[in-house]
Amino acid sequence: MMMALAVTFVKAELKVTQPTSDHWWVAQSLNTLAWEGDSPDQFSVFLSNSDTNVLTSMLALTSITYSYDKSKTINPGGITPSGGYTLLLTNPLNSSDVYAKSDIFEIKAVGSAYPPQETAASQSGSSSGAGSSGSSATSSGASASATSSKANGAEKMEVRFGFMGFSTLMIAFMML
């Protein structure tokens, strides 16, 4: 049984720059979605694969993503490792309105190596560093994680707290 997917491309100024065939993702791991453009100002992200034996329908990865962020770290969960995946940036209210579509890329099995990371400057011949680090902590039911990434001299820091970590943090602030 084949299922047809009706997709409408609408005028938008977004272009997915990662993932690509050279920048694959790894299942059950943190991966980078990167894009260029500012219009529209928000979108949803869906994972798609034309092979219904791999993915039977589009999988929602984010409900609202803001275009000014320019990149997002996404864990696709226990997705089936395979080629033929694409990401769709869509209208948050109507996922059949597609603003941009990624190149076809592969999701490799959990534990696989990430692709080498290059910046625009290193692709044109000059050297530029890019790196990332991550840490997590768990204590008495509280959990928190922090990730930091640096590209082209700019640093972005994300801190996430689980529910217990957030509750513990709020109680600590109330006691001050």
- pLDDT tens for the chain, 176 residues: list them: 444 455 555 567 899 999 999 999 999 999 999 999 999 999 999 999 999 999 999 999 999 999 999 999 999 999 999 999 999 999 999 999 999 999 999 999 999 999 887 654 444 443 333 444 443 333 334 334 444 444 444 444 444 444 444 444 445 445 55
DSSP reduced 3-state for 163: helix
Which residues make up the CATH 2.60.40.2840 domain(s) of the chain?
Answer: 1-113
| Fold topology of 1-113 | Immunoglobulin-like (2.60.40)
pTM summary value: 0.63
Per-residue confidence (pLDDT) for residue 117, from 0 to 100? 74
> C-alpha distances in angstroms, 140 versus 106, 144, 167?
38, 12, 12
Q: Which residues fall within 8 angstroms of residue 171, CB to CB, at 6 or more apart?
A: none
- What does the block give as tokens for 14? 């977004």
